[in-house]
Amino acid sequence: MTPAGQLQSVIELVETILSLSKKPADAVMQSYFRNRRYIGSSDRRSIGDSVYSVLRNTQGLQAALAITTPRLLVFAHCILDKHDTLGELQYLCGEGYGPPPLSNEEQQILSDLKPYNPFAIPKWLEAHMKDQALIKSLHDQAPVDIRVNSLKNNRDAILTLLKLEGFEVTATPMSPLGVRFGKRQPMNTHELWEDGTLEVQDEASQIVSLLCDAKPGMQVLDYCAGAGGKSLSLAATMQNKGNLILSDIHPHRLQRAKERLRRAGVTTYQLKDIVKDNSWFKRQHNRFDRVLVDAPCTGTGTWRRNPDLKNRLQPIDLEELTSLQQKILDQAQQFVKPGGRLMYVTCSVLEAENNQQVAWLLNKYPQLKPISINEVWRETIGTPCPFSTPTAQFTPNIHGTDGFFVSIFERIG
């Protein structure tokens, strides 16, 4: 593929991603490449890297431009980040399979580019995110973390095997189940992937599942299960003994979870549609030993992996999400039996979604008692806990993970 063709693909993808406010960037790219089989793997990697760089820097690039269009964002990225010259871009534009030629107005705008802050975030978020070290760390590229399915194998054996195969891997520092790759590797065709031994899961997400302390024989409800990422971990710690319920309002996500559970060797589970199975939920009050609420949130803690979220997020989204989180907690807390635990989790770094929601929950439900993360960490993981606070806020700059928030409550008898 020619450089001109690559450039045009980057422009087309950025334009599509920015116009489809609800569709994740990785899904857009998968669809784009699926419909263009002629684009080879090295070209896909180069195009994908450029697209994510533009998305990661969109806020700053917009400030550098007098007028913003997807084309101009890509061209500004080429000049300011890749250090291409305007003349080089003009040469690529108009060439076969390349972008249309630059207009006189575009040339003038690109000639007047201003320096920009690569760590810029939306203005309205500055009141919620003041930690500059955190903001900068969310701009970095995330590592690839894999969880070893303990129903299939153990981490030490997998680490040895992967190293013998030439992979650059290390043990994750906090999770006893995690493997971290030194560079991105195509693992989706590896036999350990296909047989369910390995699953992509950020280290903080692995820790969340372990802190749930779901033991064999327990009744466990993953209330916002989605595609089942944490349910897979819960099933492993339960050793396929007990009853694991995956529930969600999106049936297609539960069907995807079903396939992942089958591949992982999980047998003791049920899928429940929160809307369709409403009458079933009405009979489940005070039933569960563990209820996990991995709540819908802004996803600010995942910007390293999903930089497009930063560009789509609006103030109304935060307002609607915090209201939704409280509604979900209202529903979920009633399923916890006396002596059972409720776990509230987000992949956000915003206090409005995290500790402020904890305060709201404790004020409304005095029968819920907060449990210190330190105490549960000692019981479940057995290593020194990196948190001195009752709740846990994982961040990339301190813990090398995605931004995850964790809080745990016990229902008083």
Higher pLDDT, 108 or 188: 108
Residue type, 83: H
Which residue is associated with the tokens 């599942």?
A: 209
CATH number 3.40.50.150 given to 203-411 = yes
Which residue is associated with the tokens 């995690």?
A: 178
The continuous run of DSSP H or E covering 237 comes out as helix 229-237
Active-site residue identified among 93, 212, 224, 347: 347
Give CATH 3.40.50.150 domain extents, the chain.
Answer: 203-411
Pairing status of strand 219-222 against strand 169-171? unpaired
Q: Which band of pLDDT confidence, cut at 50, 70 and 90, is reported for residue 189?
A: confident
Q: Which band of pLDDT confidence, cut at 50, 70 and 90, is reported for residue 23?
A: confident
Check whether 187 has a pLDDT greater than 90: no
CATH number 3.30.1300.10 given to 144-200 = no
Contact 173, 210 (CB under 8 A): no
**Tens of pLDDT, residues 92-138:** 998 788 999 999 999 999 999 988 998 999 999 999 999 999 999 99
Check whether 185 has a pLDDT greater than 80: no
* pLDDT, mean over the chain: 94
Contact 204, 401 (CB under 8 A): yes
Q: Which of 39-43, 131-135, 154-158 bottoms out in mean pLDDT, i.e. has the lowest? A: 39-43
CA atoms within 13 A on the CB side of 107: 12
Check whether 183 has a pLDDT greater than 90: no
For the question of residue 347 being annotated catalytic, the response is yes
Adjacent-strand bridge partners of 180: 145, 170
Check whether 41 has a pLDDT greater than 80: yes
Q: What angle do CA 315, 320, 324 make, to 5 degrees?
A: 150
Check whether 24 has a pLDDT greater than 80: yes
Give CATH 3.30.70.1170 domain extents, the chain.
Answer: 144-200
Q: Residue 231: what pLDDT?
A: 95
